[in-house]
Amino acid sequence: MNNKTIDWSELAVRLYDGVGRKTAHISELAETALSLELIPLGYAPEEFQRKLNSYLLRNSKSKAPQFSRVKNKKGGFAKGTFRLRPQRAFDLMPAELPKVTTQFTGAAGEFAVLSELLFRGFNASKMTVDDGIDVVASKNEKYFHIQVKTANYSEGRPFQASIRQGAFKLSSNVFYIVVLRQATAVGFVNKYAIFPSSDIRRFISQGILKDGPAISLRISIERTKYLLAGKVDISHQINDFDIIC
């Protein structure tokens, strides 16, 4: 997880899931982050614990808190203990998406990636003709070719995407992004699994991905981790656009 793209809210929820309780002390959350390798790069465990504690304190005092402090027996607040607040019942079920063809979802995913790249300072453009590359982007005088795949939410099932073997390109400037259209307590959001083409080739050589007419990318969420083919933890590659460099 890159420091520049830390989503403290999502990270904290994942840690509560890892602890297995809605109420936890900050030290338990930090220990869980360490055991699950969820401490962002560049943070020492003690510094991460302080940053997480500061975030939970700020959130608990916000107008729409997701976390709250826990009172002790004396009527004050227990130091370092926070509770993950329950969502309202109508927030637990995301709105249903209208049924549209893959032509629409594919285009939506490409424009979503374009937007994210622009927010991060890339000069990005959608290709007029799809020849295996959907988006061309440049930054710091470097050019990158990106193929985008969009995988919709399906309850209880992994996200599914595939790359046609004839469209696969192995090069240091080629990247594959799978847009994960994901259901959350507040509706649908996009997450981005980002792979250099060398990663795809390495996973094929290791037998993790099958080298057939189409390269299938099956991504599942198990507790606090994103897994490729049910085997490889790719959590660190979710939303990390700094991989493109």
Q: In whole angstroms, what is the distance from residue 57 CA to residue 235 CA?
A: 26
Every domain of the chain and the residues it spans: 3-88, 102-243
- Per-residue tens of pLDDT for the chain, all 245 residues: 444 467 898 899 989 988 888 999 999 999 999 988 888 888 899 999 999 999 999 999 998 899 999 998 888 999 999 999 876 544 444 556 667 788 899 999 999 999 999 999 999 999 988 788 999 999 999 999 999 999 876 767 899 999 998 889 999 999 999 999 877 655 778 999 999 999 999 999 999 999 889 999 999 988 778 999 999 999 999 999 999 98
Give the fold, CATH level 3, of 3-88.
Arc Repressor Mutant, subunit A (1.10.10)
Conformational region of residue 127, where left means phi above 0, alpha means psi within -120 to 50, and beta covers everything else: beta
- Per the listing, tokens 């809605």 go with 22
Query: Does residue 9 come out as left (phi exceeding 0), alpha (psi in the -120 to 50 range) or beta?
Result: alpha
Pick the CATH number of 102-243 from 2.60.120.560, 3.20.20.370, 1.10.486.10, 3.40.1350.10: 3.40.1350.10
- DSSP for 197-221 reads HHHHHHHHHTTSS--SSEEEEEEEE
Give the tokens for residue 13. Answer: 């929820």
